[in-house]
A = this chain, B = another copy of it.
Amino acid sequence: MAGNTFGTFFKLTTFGESHGTAIGGVIEGCPPGLAISIEAIQRELDRRRPGQSAIVTQRKEPDQVQFLSGIFEGKATGTPIGFTIANQDQHSADYSHIKDVYRPGHADYVYEQKYGLRDYRGGGRSSARETACRVVAGALAKQILPEVKINAFVSSVGDIFIDKPYQALDFSQTDSNPVRCPDSATAARMMQLIAEVKAQGDTVGGTVTCVLQNVPVGLGEPVFDKLHAELGKAMLSINAVKGFEYGSGFCGARMKGSEHNDAYNPDGTTKTNLSGGIQGGISNGMDIYFRVAFKPVSTIMQPQQTIDASGNTISMEGKGRHDPCVVPRAVPIVEAMAAIVLADFYLINKIYR
Contacts and interface: CB of A to CB of B under 8 A. Distances in A.
Given A4-B223, A257-B296, A279 B217 contact: no
Interface stretch (A37-45, A55-63, A105-113, A170-178): A105-113
Contacts of A105: 257, 260-262, 275, 279
Interface in A199-239: 200, 202-207, 217-218, 221-226, 228-230, 232-233, 236-237, 239
Interface stretch (A145-153, A184-192, A244-252): A244-252
Interface string A342-353: 000001111111
* Band of interface residues on A: 35 or more
A275 B240 CA distance: 10
Contacts of A206: 253
A182 interface: no
Contact of A69 (B22, B109, B225, B265): B22
A320 interface: no
A16 interface: yes
A259 B140 CA distance: 38
The interface centre, meaning the residue of A23, A217, A267, A293 with most chain B CB atoms within 10 A of its CB, is: A293
Given A79-B15, A113-B217, A257 B4 contact: no
A52 interface: no
A117 B232 CA distance: 28
A304 interface: yes
A90 interface: no
Which of A4, A203, A266, A299 counts the most B-chain CB atoms under 10 A from its CB? Answer: A4
Given A77-B117, A279-B105, A307 B125 contact: no
Nearest to A282: B110
Most B Cβ at <10 Å: residue of A80, A218, A223: A223
A130 interface: yes
A167 interface: no
A274 B233 CA distance: 20
Given A1-B29, A296-B255, A266 B307 contact: yes
A165 interface: no
Contacts of A28: 1-2, 4
Given A69-B17, A205-B254, A281-B107, A2 B80 contact: yes
A82 interface: yes
Given A114-B349, A205-B260, 8 more contacts: A107-B222, A204-B255, A205-B256, A233-B233, A248-B295, A260-B295, A260-B298, A350-B351
9 contacts: A3-B221, A13-B80, A22-B82, A33-B115, A78-B115, A107-B281, A229-B237, A248-B295, A263-B306
